[in-house]
Amino acid sequence: MLSNVVANQEIHTEYGGVVPELASRAHQQNIVPVVQLALQRANIGKKDLSAIAFTKGPGLMGSLLVGTSFAKSMAQALGIPVIGVNHMQAHILAHFIEDDRQEKPPFPFLCLTISGGHTEIVKVSDYFTMEILGQTLDDAVGEAYDKSAKILGLGYPGGPLIDQYARLGNPTAFRFTKPKVGDLDFSFSGLKTAILYFIRKEMDQNPDFIKENLHDICASIQHTIVSILMEKIQHAVQQTGITHIAIAGGVSANSEVRKRLLNTEQTQSWKTYIPKFEYTTDNAAMIGIVGYYKYITQAFDSSGTTANSRLKVNE
């Protein structure tokens, strides 16, 4: 990897969440300077490129269209292939970026893919042979964190803030009911509702409840969410017999998720794989590594390729 430039969109913090129209406008404004800076930091010119990889989906359609149009146009102008990349495959294959500080998992392995839009357990048999074993039936884990933070009056994104405050609190101070769904599937909408009603009830009795108990509330929410994730991956290991376990996606940056997963190397004799922080949230390097493996087999896209906002990890 020669460079990995990311343009953060602070506009979403102001609105307390992602606004699709603003996201696509920010993409339009940032894409040219970001590409220019990436080339500059890599110390190469456009004519040194062999192909251009871009995110084909899933994601917000407006933002995907900006990237797709730009990538296809640039590739056509340079006379080089264009490679459409599955965003969720990219999160998983981020484990294969050449980096001395992260170990590559062997096939097959299980990957717990956790982000603002996805929560899945994926069996990875090869670079592009992936099977969804379990997934969320409603909200993703990242959304559960963000909505809980909003209920508590915290900023956006809420996941890192809850993680930060949770480290100072008692994880068993308050109990929240875990959703009852299949062994490998997830559900977080009921948990969000339970947290909302709990906070409302306590605030009616004590208007300063959040202020006085913020660390314990965050620790209890985090403990519940991470326990759900760990129970599901435990079921997946029992059903498949696979004990090489990886995590991927923005929520894999969470300190409690990392800690609990690493502990299984002693308690369960699992082998765990945790990506570097810069490869957890959306970034160019993870798209590039998928592009690399597709380039090797010449799995190029045609100029007529289009974005797909609902692309599945095994598509």
Quick: pLDDT tens for 131-148.
Answer: 999 999 999 999 999 999
Q: What is the pLDDT of residues 242-253, one digit of tens each?
A: 999 999 999 999
Which pLDDT value is given to residue 230? 97
**% of the chain beyond a pLDDT of 90:** 87
Which pLDDT value is given to residue 101? 86
Average pLDDT score, the chain: 94
What is the mean predicted confidence (pLDDT) over 64-92? 97
Question: For the chain, how many residues are written?
Answer: 315
Q: Which residues on adjacent β-strands are paired with residue 83?
A: 53
pTM of the model: 0.93
Q: What is the pLDDT of residues 263-281, one digit of tens each?
A: 999 999 999 999 999 999 8
Which pLDDT value is given to residue 22? 84
Give the contacts of 240 (CB within 8 A, at least 6 positions apart). Answer: 110, 123, 133
Determine the 3-state secondary structure of 114 from DSSP.
strand
Higher-confidence residue: 12 or 113? Answer: 113
Residues 39, 46: Cα–Cα separation, whole Å: 7
pLDDT confidence band for 20 (50 / 70 / 90)? confident
pLDDT over threshold 70, residue 11? no
Higher-confidence residue: 117 or 217? Answer: 217
Check if the beta carbon of residue 220 is closer than 8 Å to that of residue 170. Answer: yes
CA-nearest of 239, 241, 117, 138 to 185 is: 138
Check if the beta carbon of residue 247 is closer than 8 Å to that of residue 112. Answer: yes
The H or E element that residue 204 is part of is: helix 189-205
Which pLDDT value is given to residue 15? 64
